[in-house]
Structure 1
Amino acid sequence: MRMALVSAGEPPLITLGEFEDMAKRCNVKTPDDRRSCMDRLTDMGELRHFGEVPGLESAVVIDPKWLADLMARIVTSDAGRMAELGMENGWTSMEALEKVVQSVCPASSSGSSSSSWVDGLVRLMQHCGLVYAAANEMAVIPPMLPDRMTQSLQSHRAALVKQPGSQSGHLPAGPRRWWSAQYKYGRLLDHRLSRLLCRLLLLLPDVEVLDVWRFGARLRRPQGDVLAMTCTRRLDKDYTIHVAVCAQVPELLGARVSALLGEELSDVELKDIQYECAACFEMEPTEDAQQHGMYSANVLRKMAGRE
């Protein structure tokens, strides 16, 4: 069937019902057997079914390479493809993105399902962390954003400290405090960081994206809360995710980000967490971390264990 679709100029997408019919013809009759068959073919790289992605619940991709090629048309440094998307510094429009998907999944290919499948393929890229739907029908492609992996949160410190106001420019009511932490990991792959960035951008309602880069963002809420996250990589290949929050009770928002890291990176070695005192965060950065009141969670645990 894959070759027949390719020969007809159709995308390698079939409905779940068509897959089940083929399985029945091959004497795979029970639902459990068909599920096992699909799992085995998935493990072999022959097909993919994304039942958890809205719009693709009934679609089966019978050529995963085609799907990878589609994603490569979005995450690309090719000048022609970037022009097709109208991409600039990792930003494009949802309309341009959908047109690219429609070019490989035309309306004739799946009849009434085509629109749903196009929407589903776009949602799949969002699910994978390759696309974030921003305001004003714009889209962010995290892997294509300006790379600031060599910059730490220290380099954003001045900009952060100058962000106490709300979107209207008025100072928020009540005192604000800073909370800052650094999470030190082993190797983090780009696709994990892309998905983490998209999850961060979706974490808060009514958020204003002040800046976004590869891989990090500076966000502000209408009431004046500020949140920043960025990831840096050292020469020894350790990765550090820096998080800073300014709010009336910054620990609450910090805990939400910490929980998000736990969800997305639960299988990655977390080597240490370091916390910075609130008063020190607004000081001019120095080379000596101790002068900035950095406290290692590992050291604090050891000290607590001796008491």
Structure 2
Amino acid sequence: MTTQVEPGARRGRTTPRAGGPDKEVGQDRKEKTQGRAAALLVIPSLIVLSIVILYPVVNAIIMSVQQDQGLDPVTGTFVAGGFAGVANYTHWLLQQCASPNGTATCPPGTLGAQFWSATGVTFFFTVVTVALETLLGFWMAIIMARTFRGRSALRAAVLVPWAIPTAVTAKLWFFIFAFDGIANTLFNTSILWTGSDGPARAAIIIADVWKTTPFMALLILAGLQIIPAEVYEAAKVDGASAWQRFTQITLPLVKPALMVAILFRVLDALRMYDLPAIMTGGANGTTTLSILVVNQIGVGFNSAAALSTITFLIIFIVAFIFVRFLGANAVESASGGARGKK
């Protein structure tokens, strides 16, 4: 008795499952439909962002290469603005000044001296405030991450300074640091806080740290919440001390959230305007780049546009450095920790 074998079976082929090609076609059609729907939902947001962000940036760049209208210092006649090229930028960045004795130091009133002074003040405020806010925010986040009675009330109370508008905070601390204010009365001092460089900068730093430390604590607390409690328990069983648990477990695992918090605060501090403008008016060594831009608007829009473009580039470079280097390390450490758990 002979057995007949199907040709496909003799060649080792298997019968395709019913509906296989149709199922693949359906999945492709579904992916294309979802892609179109996603594009339709994203396009309006991109249009709004282009109008709100891209257009002002491009318009500021165009204005920055135009000359401001004004009086000709030679003839005394009104001169309309025209194409200035990079002259507005060189006035801020590369202005050469010479005093009668031949030195190249610029007097305080020149644009170059104002820009570099404001840049130094801005970075000084950024470094000091972000460092203090990171340390205090980390300490507050560790406390709020613990389980104790009244933890919810503590978290709500900590967020109160951050919820207060910055202008209100500046006015509040302006009254505190007044000559007859709470600060001098409490410490029995006679410091004119807004009358000299050192006390004025200290007052702004204290106000900014009080205002923004809760923001840092909130972001760091979010990173602490995702660390499993079993990791700490295993470390305790292995005999790790509190400092070893902090340096070997807490810091590496919270690093991504910490880098994001520091990045946000650095970018925000580089744009500092409200606190120094309200508390000191930018006087006594507290003029930041944002204050200088606003003050320059009254002199000439195009020169102010060039200064705002320079400020934008400075902030962009700082953000790029954080994302390219510090952000990459944070991602690598997080992925490495995930591979280790596997």
Name the TM-score class by shorter chain: under 0.3
Larger CA Rg, structure 1 vs 2: 2
Question: TM-score if structure 2 supplies the norm length?
Answer: 0.22
TM-score, structure 1 length as denominator? 0.24
Which has the larger share of helix?
2
Give the structure with the higher percent strand: 1
